[in-house]
Each structure stands twice: as C-alpha cells, then as structure tokens.
Chains A and B, each alone.
Chain A
C-alpha cells in the first residue's frame, strides 16, 4: 500500500511580505466566462473610479470565438439598458476574434498540409462549426484550433505585445493617481476562463504558455471556473467531461512534462508550468455553501470581479491581499508523488519520481462583502443632480406660444418680424407689419419711407406742373413721369444690374432686413434658452410656432404676400392707365378754352392731392406706391422664404434654427434620458449571493437629500453645478452653445462627464455611508438577521470556493492544506476604533479556530463595505470534491464515449488520471505496463506506423497475435503505446479474454524460450537498453521552484522490476553466468553504453520495434525532439541456414527440419566460461559466446553441379555429381556469412515461413508500406511530421533496416502441453517418438 509523499516540499518563507504594490497587469478573458468576469470588473472600476483610464496600469483583452452580439454584452444587462456600456465594453483593440476565416475545414480537410495541427488535433467533426463565429460548440479542440490560425495568431500576439508595450511604458504609469502604488518592475497576467466549454477550456493552456513565451520573466495567474457552475445548461455532461479533460491536461503540464508550442511553425517544447498560480473555482466552497447555475452563477462572476477589483485598489487591505498571494506561492511549488511501483525495492531514490505526480499548484479563493451600495447611492444622487441641471436648462413649454411669439418675441427690436393682426387674450388687437415697414424704409437717417418720398415727389411734380407755362404742362408731366419710371426700371428682371435705383434700394432693404431677422431670431432664441426662467424648450417652442405662423393665412406672411403681389400688380397696372389718362387730360385741358382752369386744377390734385391723407394722395402717388409695393411684396415673400429656410424643418433632422434647437433639445433629451437610465440602473437593488446589502428602501433618496438638499438649497446646488458643467464640459456660459459640444461629442460622453462632475461633487462631501457603522446599527442590521448572523454568513461565503472531496482518496494519506495555506483577511475602514473592535469580536466568534486571521484597512474610498477574503494555495487537483464525487467530473469523463473529442491532444493517454490510483488499479496498471513494455522488448508486439484514424499523421500502433478458441491466429490491434496501456489497464481480469493476461502469459513463455535458448543475457541487455534509452529517466528543472526532479517513467520501473524478477527463471548460479555473459557482451562490468553502443551490440539479436522520442540536450536544439529506432529481441535470430538445403533451422540443430539432413555431431565451445555443448560444426564461432570454434571448416558448394553444400574434409567428392569438393582458395566463401541469421534474404524467407506456418493472411500492401516507412530516425519533429504527411517514411535507411514481423509462433494454450523441443533440430514439435520437423528421434 502506497500513499502520497511530498516530492517537493513547500517551505515557509522566513519573512512574510506584509504589503505588495500593484503590478501592471494584462487581464485576459477567454470565452463567455472570461468576458463576464472582466465586464463586471470593468463595471466596478468604472463605477468607482469613473473611467478605466484612471487605471492605466490595467489592460484588458477578450478573446472569444463567438462573435454574436450576445456574446459581446453582459448576460444579465442588456446593452440598451446599460448606461455604462460605452465605458465598460471592450474596445476594438481589446477584442481578439478567435474565429477561423474560411472555416475549420480549411485545416481539417487538409491536415496533411498542416503538420503543426495534425500533430495534436485529436479528431472530431468540427467542420459543422464553420468559422467558429458562433462559438466553439463546447469542443475544446475547436477552441484550440483557432490558436493555430495564422491570422488569429498574429492578431493575438500583436494585441498582447501592444498591451505589454503600454504596461511597460513609464510615461503611462506615471499618470496613475488615486493612491495607487505601482510596481513598474513586474508585470502580471491574469487569465480568466471556464474549463467547461470550448473556447476557454480549449485555449487556456496555450494562453498560459503563450504568455510565458512572450514574457517569460513575468507571472501568469489563471482563474478557472469548474463545470459545476454550468450544470443547469444544456450539455452538462459534456461540460463535466470537458472540465476533467482540461484539468488532466493542466495537471500534466503543471509538473514534469514539457509543452509543445507550435502555433507559428516554430516548434519547441516549453517547461512547466503554464501558470504561476492557478485558482480553481467550484460551485461549492469549503463550508459547503453552493452557488446555483442557470443565471445564479453570475454571483460567482461578481465575486471574482470583486476579487480582482480589490487587487487593483489602494489601501492596506489590497496590499495585504496581494502580498498574501506572494506568501502563498511557496505552497504552489509542492508536489506529491505516488511512487507505487515497488517502492523501497526497485524504485528510485527518495527524491525521484516513479509513478504519478500530483503538483499542488492549485488554489482557490473566496470573497464576500457586507456592503452598503455607496457607489450606487452616489451614482443615483449624481445622476439625479445631473438630470436636475438639464431640466433647469429646459423649463416648461409655453401654453400659448402664438401670442408670446407675435406680441413679444417677433416684436423684439432686433427681430421685428410680426406681420398681421392678433387679438390678445386680454382683448387688445395687435396689428404689426414689420416686413412692409422694413422694406419701405427709404432712408434710415432721415426716417423717410418710400411712401413719404413718393408723396414728396408727387408734390414736387404738381408744383412743377403748376409752375410750368400753359401748354407745357403735359410734356413736363411726361418728362417727370419718365424720370420717376426710371427708378423702377428692370423691376421684373432677375439681374440686379438692370434694376432702377428704387428697386435696388428695396432689394437692399430686403436683404439687410432678412439678415437682421435671422440674427435677431438666433439671438432671441438663445436669450430665451439661456434664460434660467425660460429655457431651451420655450425657445424651441417659439421657433416652431414661427414656422407655423409663416404659413398661417390669418397672418400676413406667405399667403398675404402671394395675394398682395397680384393686387399690387393689378393696382400698378390700373394706376398706370390712370397716369396715362392723366397725362392726356393735362394735355387736353391745358389746350382747352372752356373748363381749362377747373380741369387743370383737378388734374393737379390728381397729380398730388392738396394734402396727404389716407383717402387720396393723387394718382402719381398711388401709381408709384403701387409699383413700390409690388417690389416690397415680392421681397416680403422672399424674406418669408428665407426665414422659413432659416428655421428649417420642424424636426431634429432639420438643418435650420429649429433643427438646431431640436437637436440641442434632443441632445439634451438624450443626455437626460441617459441620466435617467443611469439613475434607474443604479437604483436597482444589488443582489448577489456574495454581497450582503445594508441597503433599505428610501436610502438613495435620503442620501440625495443629505448631499444635495431640498428646495432652495437644491436649486443653489443645481445652479452652481450647472455652471460648473457649462464651464468644464461645454466650455461656455451659454446653454445654447451646448449643441456645439454635443456635436463634438456624443450625448453619452456629455452625460458621462456631467455625471462625473456631479459625482465628484457628491464625493467631495464629507458625510458618506459607513458600512461598519450601519452593520452595528441594530435597526439596519435586522434585515440581515443581526450583525452576528451577517458576519457569520459572510465568513461562510468567503471560504475558498473549492470543497475538499472525501471520496475515493482513502488509500492515500492526504490531510489537506494547513492553516497557513488558507489565510483569512477582513477588510474594513478603520474610522471608529470601537466599531473596529466590535467587528473583530464578531468575526473571531464566528471564525473556525484554525484559520489565520488578519484585519486590514480598506481605505476611505471603500468605507461602504466590509470585505471577507480567504485564499487557498498549494492543493492538488484531486482536492476538489467535484472531481471525485459521484457523477462528478471523473466519473462523467470516464463514462463519456468519445474521449478523443474532449482533449486538445491526439494522445490523451499522456495525461494521467487526476486521482491517485487504488491498490487494485496500481496492480492492473503495472500488469498493463509490463505486458506492453516487455511485450515490446521481447518482440511479441509488432509496431507499425499507421495512418491515424483522424488522418494527417501516422502513429506507431501496437499489435500482437494470439490464438483464439478454435486455434486460429488472430491479430489484436492495441493502438498506440498509450492506447495499449490504457486498454490493457481497463480490461477486466479474465484469463480467456483479457489481452493483458494473454500478453503476460506470452511474455512468460518467451522468457522461458529465451532461457531455453540460453539468451537470457541478451534479454537482460535489452532490458538495460530499454531502461537507459527507450524509457530512460529524465531530469527536469521546475521552472518556478528551481527544483531538479528526476522522473522515472513507470515503464522504467517495470523494467527494473523485470530485471529483478529474472531470478524466477534461473538459479543463482545461472544468474551469475548470465551476468558474466552480459558483462562480456557489454564489454565490461560498469560500462555505460550509449544508444549507438546498444544498437551495435543488440542489432544481431534485434529487430526494429518502432521508435521512441529523444529530447535534445544540446543548447542549440534544446526543447526539440527527434525519434530514435527501438529494437526488440528477436529469437529468430538464433537460427541459421541449413548448410545442406539453406533453409532456416535452429542455430543448435544437428538435423535439418527441412531437408532432414544429418548435420553432424556438435562441438563444445572451447570458452571455459561458456562450454556450450551444442555448437554445430558449421559455425565458425560459438553462437552463445561468440568465441571462435577450433577445427571449423567452412561449408562449400559443389562447383560442378551447384547442388550440394558440405565440408571438403567430410566429402572429398560431391555425393551428387561425384566431382571433387574443394574448399575455397582463400578467405572463405562469399556465402560464408550468408546463412547467418539477421541477413535480409534469410529474414524474408523467415517471414514467408512464418506466414505459411501460421496460415496468416499476407500483409496488405499498405501495411507493408506503413511498416517500412515508420522508422524514421534522427529527425526533429517538424521534419518528421512533414515526411509523415508526405507518406515518405524514413527513406532508404529505414527500408534497409526494416525488419519483417517475426517472433515466436504464438502458442496455443491448449496445445502448449503437447509441444516439446526436439533435441536434434530444437524446434518445438508435438510430443511423440519422432520429430515432425526433422524426423529425428524424440
């Protein structure tokens, strides 16, 4: 019975670190879980510090395959309802898209072209996942595949390096304020992921090594969620199996095993571990408290985000928390070993690892809070204050905008645009024609209008006519009229250069007026908007009303001018006729005798009335006034159109003044809506399992009143903060200029800045919520069941979220972590010493006695919360209950059919089980190992390179032969070495069907046969060779701990045991003899052979049996590997060619089993230490000790008939043809060596013989090819994989060395008892009187 032993013992540091500075950190979230945690962390940072920019020592990266919108937002906060979304969401530079352009099929359909993927890809139908844009579908290999996509890889590495450049930039870090103490010399990485799904679980290992590759000197922390959090979701079994597979891989690479990094084609191995600290979070904690799933796991996300948040906070608690991690790091270095193989007998030394290793690199943490939502209360108050400021800028809309517009706004001196009549609500009629008046201005200096000027001119004309002599009045009238008409020349022309003076003047008036009105409207609206009593809403309302007024037929704008234009045109035409007639009448009258005086007097009155009156001013006046009015009306209409255009559409999309104010208003509305949304958002009561809230309904309103006040004091605050906002946010004093600021930035940004100013104002107030004070306030704590219960609950929740399992580990002596490995820290703000003492008493009463407890100050900023924190370090991965529990990860994994799909490695067997083996498992495992290792060494297993089922690469596959119940030989395919070990390990004990037991039986027989062949020394040398080369122990340095650990592969220990077991087959004397022969074979007693030496010495006795991986030690190729050829014992090599017929016979045979020839009596080996009695005389050297045989005579072939082989001394003449049989002249026959075993020709024959003998099916061409191409050597993995892909194999060398499958014929267990060894030919034949092979007597 073996238990766990501390292979590397964690040692206590002399002096504990009390405070650690903040390290610049890159936080990486993988998949959905990583995103959730990081978004929550960002949310809390933004809520507390206002912006992530306040913490430039933090950089974020979110890597996910899922590119859907839902995968970008926080699961429980919809983007539309999230006022912090813009601040919280990942920026483009913080997102790495892990999908694969062109789909996974671009790789998976052509795995042969991508050896770096084919090397690890375990198979599975991933093509259905397309480009993985909708996630990795819980397939870990799919997640990992994205790391090998060139574009993703470049993007990822670039983003990480870019973030590191920023974090290493001292200029960036000097911007830090807020009390942070940044350690610029040390970077940290935090990777957050779930190990249950596809993306995070598939990539977390690669990310660990990638970060280590990029920044080897910095530290990586991994926070991984166990599958328990996802049990309420679909595919829970899959998540558990995935989780176990992920933990197996993590455990494997955390100690003693090197990781192959080959994302970019630059293949090399990297030393463990992938992460300096690994935090595993399970759904149950040390106190048995559980977290639900199906949305309830969000509490755990919050907890982790709080954990990270307090890492990046200022204050003693944060420093102490960070220091705790450093202090606990020593415990992560501990490694348990489970040396279950012959411990104390044939096992390694005390410090070596021979068996399974269980690194204690895993830990966990728990964090719970009793808190008042101070940040929420501040945010609610700030949002409300911000909203009040905005409302103060808007005010109420007018009830009667038309009257206000017509009687006040349009009558402003700088506008004067009222045109028409309006009866006010008080009954007063207001008649205004500002446009007409403005256009009829003749001279602003003199105040003359066109009307007065025309009157003046008409009077002058009358005077002129009256003063003219009789009979000259008519011509004078025409002359003067012509002069006046010239003032209106080209009036209907579009070109202004043709216009008469008065037309130009009127046009000038119109333009000037239009300009003035536009400016007046702008100024007027701005004045109203800026007026704190009126506001933007009123300005907008008036402008909208003016827009309507322009089209209102009751007022004199468009409709009026359109109507007037016709009237004045008609009038001008009519008066034109009148003028013509007047001219004629003057001419007639001045020439008449009768009535001349009266008629001329009447004509003069018609030229200009005697006095200006409203009724009649004379036809000249009327005519020219009509012409002026025609122009005025035209310009009036033009002005209306201009103002209409200037006002623009009555909507926010309009380009005019209304649109401006609409936008301002809508911008303000948007800002206000954002403020409302923010207020609503923060008003939601915070509820999660890990936060006990001290909040009561009405608290937020109460704190708003405390901070801002009510009534006049609130107004004063609103006014002062509003002014500050105008100055700081909008850089102006005017509300209407806000729109410019809104144009420059988004409402979200404006609202955020306004909110910040308001929140800074709130925070500047001394009175703030104090969680400790509230907790000890009995009224308030009643909701939590009283302070004692609240503290007790928080302490329970704060225990590390990894529950110790109590199942299945009874066979090991693991007592669990010590109290030093799980310290507890309580963080609170030490405002009142009495309160602090009370809290201490409460905590100590509720706390289990064996925990190390510390109290630290959270700092002023976090006075609204009390934090309970525990960190656990240095536990093995099987510590967690969920791993070992019934229906836990392990059980689900082992029950999962398609295990290949769960892993991110083709060879899943390299990842040992996470739970130490039981005694029966150990026994079965050792038997399986023994069956495979010795089966391979003894040549019972054939090793062929076969195309993997998943395509791409070839793998070395094992196979052996056995006879079934009807005595038929069948091939049993065992798969790769790891497959074979696993297969045999899991087979039940069953003598009839168990391959493990069948192989062990064959091994036993083979060793007996070897012994019979007196080849045990060769067998021993093979064991040595396997122990020192194929399964050699290796020394690796733990990169973090710096420990050197000598690791013995279990196969090595099995070989050691096999050597020790040799005594079962031999007596002590025989053993001594064997050892001496071994010494002779090795060339010395303590000679240490190299691989080449072994190959040279063993080649005559061996056949190829696959390859093994050799890691390079040279500096230039460190981390790379190559494969070397492995040999297996080949008893068939102890055969020779019959000197008569040339067929293969036993090396000791005195009779040929083929031609039945008597080969003569054997000689005795002259070597005294050998004295082998059965050395045929046709051997030049003893087959056993290789000593030269005296009296050896070569066998020669008859040179005449070529039909006889024999010795010349025994056959002077050829018995076949009678010709003399002569020995070769010199140097022996060219065939002297040919009959010797190990020759190609004889091997081929041997193989035929085997096949014929056993009626085996001939090897398929493909198998032959695979067999011959599978023994590459001396290549690094790249080259080898490339050749594998091309199917070339190891070329000519391999072909030359390729040995046919051979070995002892499998023995039928039934027929075994009947077989005996013939003393003549040494073949195993059926017992009887005569040997069935050589017909010699038995």
Chain B
C-alpha cells in the first residue's frame, strides 16, 4: 500500500471528521443538548467511516467482489447511515 493510498485514506477520514465535527455537530447542538448531539455524532461518524471503508473494498481493494455478502454489508451500513441521519434530522427539536 502506497503512502499516497494511506494519505488518501487519512484525508478522506479527515474530511469526514471535519464535515461532521464542524458542520454536523454544531448543527446538532442547535437541536440537542450537547450530550445528545454527541450521541448522534459518534454513530454518524462511525457509519460514514464504515461506508467509506466498504466502498474502498470495492474500489481500492477489489476484494469485495469476491464476497457477495460485502455488497449487503455496504447496503446495510448505507441504510443505517441513512436511517440514523434521517432520524437525527427528523427528531431534532429546539434545544431550549
């Protein structure tokens, strides 16, 4: 694995972090107390990372084609991400 590969991985993870930490988390704080926001933030981050990791298994490490189960794992993670995000957005309430 090249350094670039790994660098790319880090940059992607960093981008996801930045997006969630500076974008999503403050947005969550508008609607949830900090504790709740954090409880939303971390699953989101985890799901993003899982999704990216699975996608990497298709694109960067073409091993996923070998295992048909991986495809459903991706779908499941994506579905979880979608559901969690949707749940977070839809259940938001004014934090007052």
Interface residues of chain A, those whose CB is within 8 Å of chain B, are 585, 589, 595, 598-599, 601-602, 606, 615-616, 619
Q: How far is the CB of A318 from chain B (nearest CB, A)?
A: 99
Closest to B28 in A: A598
Nearest CB on B from A1303, distance (A): 141
Given contacts A589-B34, A595-B34, A599-B34, contact A616 B96 (CB under 8 A): yes
- List of A residues within 8 angstroms of B94 by Cβ: 615-616
Which bracket fits the contact residues of B? 10 to 19
**What's the least CB distance linking A574 to chain B, in Å?**
11
Query: Shortest CB–CB separation between residue B22 and chain A, in angstroms?
Result: 8
Select A599's contact among B22, B29, B30, beta carbons within 8 Å.
Answer: B29
Bound CA–CA A595/B21 (angstroms): 8
Interface string of B1-36 (1 = CB under 8 A from A): 000000000000000000001100110011000100
Asked if B38 is at the interface (CB within 8 A of a chain A CB), the reply is yes
Complex CA gap A1152/B79 in Å reads 184
Is the pair A598, B96 in contact by a Cβ cutoff of 8 Å?
no
A329, B51: Cα distance in complex, Å:
146
**Chain A residues whose C-beta falls within 8 Å of the C-beta of B38 in the assembled complex:** 595
Min CB distance, A609 to chain B, in Å?
9
Closest A residue, CB atoms, query B29: A602
Knowing that A595-B34, A598-B25, A602-B30 touch, tell me 6 more A-B residue pairs with CB under 8 angstroms.
A595-B21, A598-B22, A598-B26, A599-B29, A599-B34, A602-B95
Complex alpha-carbon distance, A595 and B33, angstroms: 12
User: Of all chain A residues, which has the CB nearest B41?
Assistant: A595
How far apart are B74's CB and chain A's nearest CB, in angstroms? Answer: 29
Name the residue of chain B whose CB is nearest to the CB of A589: B34
Q: Give min CB distance, A413 to chain B, whole Å.
A: 37
Q: Please indicate the chain A residues that have their CB under 8 angstroms from the CB of B95 in the complex.
A: 602, 606
Q: Among B30, B37, B94, B96, find the residue whose CB has the most chain A CB atoms closer than 10 A.
A: B96
Chain B 74-96 residues near chain A, CB threshold 8 A: 94-96
Among B21, B26, B37, B96, contact of A601 (Cβ-Cβ < 8 Å): B26
Contacts of B37 in A (CB 8 A): 595
Looking across the interface, which residue of chain B has its beta carbon closest to that of A581? B33
Interface residues of B (CB under 8 A from A): 21-22, 25-26, 29-30, 34, 37-38, 94-96
B96 touches A602 (CB 8 A): no
CA distance A595 to B95 in the complex (A): 17
Q: Report the minimum CB–CB distance from A829 to chain B (whole Å).
A: 96
Give Cα A697 to B50, complex, Å.
115
CA distance A602 to B37 in the complex (A): 11
**For residue A615, which residues in chain B have a CB less than 8 angstroms away from its CB?**
94, 96
Contacts of A616 in B (CB 8 A): 94, 96
Using CB atoms, name the residue of chain B closest to A598: B26
- 8 nearest interchain CB pairs? A602-B29, A598-B26, A599-B34, A616-B96, A598-B25, A598-B29, A595-B25, A602-B34
CB-nearest residue of chain A relative to B95? A602
- For B25, what are the chain A residues with a Cβ–Cβ distance below 8 Å? 595, 598
Cβ of A604 to closest chain B Cβ, rounded Å: 11
How many residue pairs link A and B with beta carbons under 8 A? The number is 26
Given that A616-B94, A616-B96 are contacting pairs, would A585 and B34 also be in contact in the complex, using a CB cutoff of 8 Å? yes
Q: From DSSP, what is the main secondary structure of chain A's interface residues?
A: helix
Residues of B within 8 A of A602 (CB): 26, 29-30, 34, 95
Interface centre among A595, A606, A615 (most CB of B within 10 A): A595
Q: How far is the CA of A615 from the CA of B94 in the complex (A)?
A: 10
Complex CA–CA separation, A540 to B18 (angstroms): 74
Neighbouring B residues of A606 by C-beta, 8 Å: 95
Q: Which residue of A lies closest to B38 (CB)?
A: A595
Question: Who on chain A is nearest to B26 by CB?
Answer: A598
CA distance A615 to B29 in the complex (A): 17
Closest to B35 in A: A585
Give the nearest-CB partner of B25 in chain A. A598
What residues of B have a CB within 8 angstroms of the CB of A585 in the complex?
A: 34
Instruction: Give the most central of B29, B30, B37, B95: most A CB within 10 Å.
Output: B29
B96 to chain A, nearest CB (A): 5
* Nearest-neighbor residue (CB-CB) of A622 within chain B: B96
Residue in B closest to A601 when the chains form the complex, CB atoms: B26
Please measure, in the bound complex, the distance between the C-alpha atom of A443 and the C-alpha atom of B78, giving whole angstroms. 60
- Shortest Cβ gap from B95 to chain A (Å): 7
Distance in Å: Cβ of B12 to nearest Cβ of chain A: 20
**How far, in whole Å, are A616 and B93 apart by their CA atoms in the complex?**
13
> Closest approach, in angstroms, between the C-beta of A570 and any C-beta of chain B?
16
Cα A602 to Cα B25 with chains together (Å): 11
CA gap between A165 and B13 in the complex, in Å: 127
Minimum C-beta distance from B9 to chain A (A): 21
List chain A residues, Cβ under 8 A from B29: 598-599, 601-602
Contacts of A595 in B (CB 8 A): 21, 25, 34, 37-38
Question: Which of A598, A601, A619 neighbours the largest number of chain B CB atoms within 10 Å of its CB?
Answer: A598
Least distance between B51 CB and chain A CB atoms (Å): 22
Measured in the bound complex, the distance between the Cα atoms of B38 and A619 in whole Å is: 21
Distance from A462 Cβ to chain B, minimum over Cβ atoms (Å):
15
A585 and B22 alpha carbons, distance in the complex (Å): 19
Within the complex, the shortest CB–CB distance from B40 to chain A, in Å, comes to 12
Distance between B24 CB and nearest chain A CB, rounded to angstroms: 10
> Nearest CB to that of B96 among chain A residues?
A616
Q: What CA separation (Å) do A163 and B37 show in the bound complex?
A: 106
Q: How far does the alpha carbon of A589 sit from the alpha carbon of B29 in the complex, in Å?
A: 13
Please measure, in the bound complex, the distance between the C-alpha atom of A606 and the C-alpha atom of B25, giving whole angstroms.
16
The answer for the CA separation of A491 and B27 in the assembled complex, in Å, is: 39
Q: A585 CA to B25 CA in the complex, in Å?
A: 16
A616 to B95, CA, bound (A): 10
A619 to B33, CA, bound (A): 13
Query: Smallest Cβ distance from A545 to chain B, in angstroms?
Result: 41
**Which residues of chain A are near B21, meaning CB under 8 Å?**
595
Residue of A nearest to B27 (CB): A598
B69 to chain A, nearest CB (A): 35
| A601 CB contacts on chain B under 8 angstroms | 26, 29
Nearest opposing residue in chain B for A619, CB measure: B96
List residues of chain B with CB within 8 A of the CB of A599.
29, 34
How many Å from the CB of A740 to the closest CB on chain B? Answer: 58
- Chain B: minimal CB distance from A624 (Å): 15
Most buried by B among A585, A602, A619: A602
Q: How far is the CA of A602 from the CA of B94 in the complex (A)?
A: 12
By CB atoms of chain B within 10 A, which of A589, A599, A601 has the most?
A599
In the complex, chain A residues whose CB is within 8 Å of the CB of B34: 585, 589, 595, 599, 602
Subset of 9 A-B contacts with CB under 8 Å:
A595-B34, A595-B37, A595-B38, A598-B25, A599-B34, A601-B26, A601-B29, A602-B95, A616-B96
Minimal beta-carbon separation of B16 from chain A (angstroms): 15
Q: Shortest beta-carbon distance, B20 to chain A, in Å?
A: 11
Chain B residues with Cβ under 8 A from A619's Cβ? 96
Nearest-Cβ distance from residue A674 to partner chain B, whole angstroms:
69
CA distance A779 to B38 in the complex (A): 113
Q: How far is the CA of A138 from the CA of B37 in the complex (A)?
A: 113
Bound together, the chains give a CA A598 to CA B38 distance in angstroms of 11
Give B30 Cβ to nearest chain A Cβ, in Å. 8
Complex CA gap A581/B96 in Å reads: 12
- In the assembled complex, the Cα of A481 lies from the Cα of B37 at a distance in Å of 26
Q: How far is the CA of A589 from the CA of B38 in the complex (A)?
A: 13
A1027 to B96, CA, bound (A): 137
Write the nearest CB–CB distance from A455 to chain B, whole angstroms. Answer: 15
What is the CB-to-nearest-CB distance from A21 to chain B, in angstroms, rounded to a whole number? Answer: 102
A582 to chain B, nearest CB (A): 10
Report the Cα distance A791→B2, complex, angstroms: 152
Q: A595 vs B37: C-alpha distance in the bound complex, in angstroms?
A: 10
Distance of A112 Cα from B95 Cα, bound (Å): 114
CA distance A836 to B25 in the complex (A): 120
Tell me which residues across on chain B come within 8 A of A589, comparing CB atoms.
34
**A941–B96 alpha-carbon span in the complex (Å):** 135
A616 to B34, CA, bound (A): 17
Cα A595 to Cα B26 in complex, Å, equals 9
> How many Å from the CB of A597 to the closest CB on chain B?
9
Give the CA-CA distance A589 to B94 in the complex, in Å: 20
**Inside 8 A of B22's CB, which chain A residues have their CB?**
598
Q: Closest Cβ of chain A: how far from B4's Cβ, in Å? A: 29
User: Residue on A with the closest CB to B32?
Assistant: A602
